[in-house]
Amino acid sequence: MEKTVVLAITKNGVNIGQNLKELFPDWNIFAPVKFSNEDSEIIWYSEPTSEKIIELFKNNNALVCIFSLGAVIRLIAPHLKDKKTDPAVIVIDDKTNFVISVLSGHIGGANELTQEIAEKIGALPVITTAADVNKTIAVDMVGREFNWKIDDDSTVTKISAHMVNEEPIGVFQEIGKKNWCKKLPKNVSIYDSLEDLKNSNSKAYLIISDRVIDKNLDKESVIYRPPSLVIGIGLHWDTSKEIIKEGIEHCLEKFKLSSKSIAKLVSIKKPQDIQGLIDIEKEMNIPVEYVDREDLSEISAPNPSETVKAFEGTASVSEAAAIKVSGGELIVEKQKFPPNLTIAIARIVN
């Protein structure tokens, strides 16, 4: 894991830290200057540990502490925020008997890192998150390796409780990788349609879709958004960011698609940069891909235009670009926003 640091506050802890440095060369090891020796790999500090631990906690992705669990909790407790932003915190005892996942086990990666450290130093990993000890689905981790987003994480805790209590859970999936769970728990069933899901005896739902979901369902659901939508854009060189954004939002709303499933924006490669696309890429934090006109001209699009061909050298931009880059199916044909903007949307098929 990037930006992982180790904090040791005893002589034996320093020795353990040195061993960890050999196993994980990219990690930085911190220890009080009173234990300083000739090891240049250790970063010695002179300020109180109560100050140093907070600095490390706030500026790293993972913090490994080689001292008692109780002391770690007392020191970091006033600075905890939430599991989406707090770093992973792991504790190793002074004899390396145990490696304990303390904080941000799932989203922060502490559980996975705990397993890795324990395996390498021959210690016992201690992981207490309910989904792991019950060997069931960790609701907040579904699809994470495929860059799925959770639409609204306010329901995660409630649905997780249903999951670990082995109550009936229904799953509906229409897009995204199918191998997100190696083996479904016995309380989890897959349904072929949203209607079947609604009519089931499920207490809660996991829905994997790029479509806007009925409000009657989403209160009892965790909805996952795989990056499945490729938005093709045809435009003039001076089309503004605001016009592009308005067109995208209009199409998503009209066809009931989620913005959280946008994988990328695509357009034709022009002789000069289009500032509107550069700006929208920054604002939406979604990559823009540019396709050569020769590649677009090879795509059979449903709504070619002789006018577009005269200006761009190919009869389709928005539809052809979306089809080309997605490698999938066109689900929203060209939508026109006069005078110079067209939008089309294709879905990536796994």
Please name each of the domains of the chain with its CATH number: 4-128 (3.40.50.11220), 139-225 (3.40.1390.40), 229-347 (3.30.420.180)
pLDDT value at position 130? Answer: 73
- pLDDT tens column, 13-52: 999 999 999 999 999 999 999 988 776 789 999 999 999 9
The whole-number pLDDT of residue 37 equals 79
Token pair recorded at residue 305: 């235009």
Contact 127, 133 (CB under 8 A): yes
- In order of 66, 263, 264, the CA distances from 11 in angstroms are 10, 50, 52
Q: What is the pLDDT of residues 141-194, one digit of tens each?
A: 899 899 999 999 899 999 999 999 999 999 999 999 999 988 899 999 999 999
Given this model, what pLDDT does residue 129 score? 80
Residues of the chain whose pLDDT is less than 50? none
SS3 assignment, position 171: strand
- In this prediction, residue 106 carries a pLDDT of 80
17 Cβ contact list (under 8 Å, min separation 6) = 6, 8, 29, 31, 42, 66
DSSP annotation of 36 reads -
> Residue 325 has what pLDDT?
97
Mean model confidence pLDDT for the chain = 93
Within a 10 A sphere around the Cβ of 225, how many other Cβ atoms? 24
- Angle at CA of residue 327, ends 326 and 332, nearest 5°: 55
Q: Residue 262 region, left (φ>0) first, then alpha (ψ -120 to 50), else beta?
A: beta
pLDDT at position 311, please?
87
In degrees and rounded to multiples of 5, residue 126 shows phi and psi of -115, 110
Pair 229, 209: CB distance under 8 Å: no
Give the pLDDT of residue 39. Answer: 67
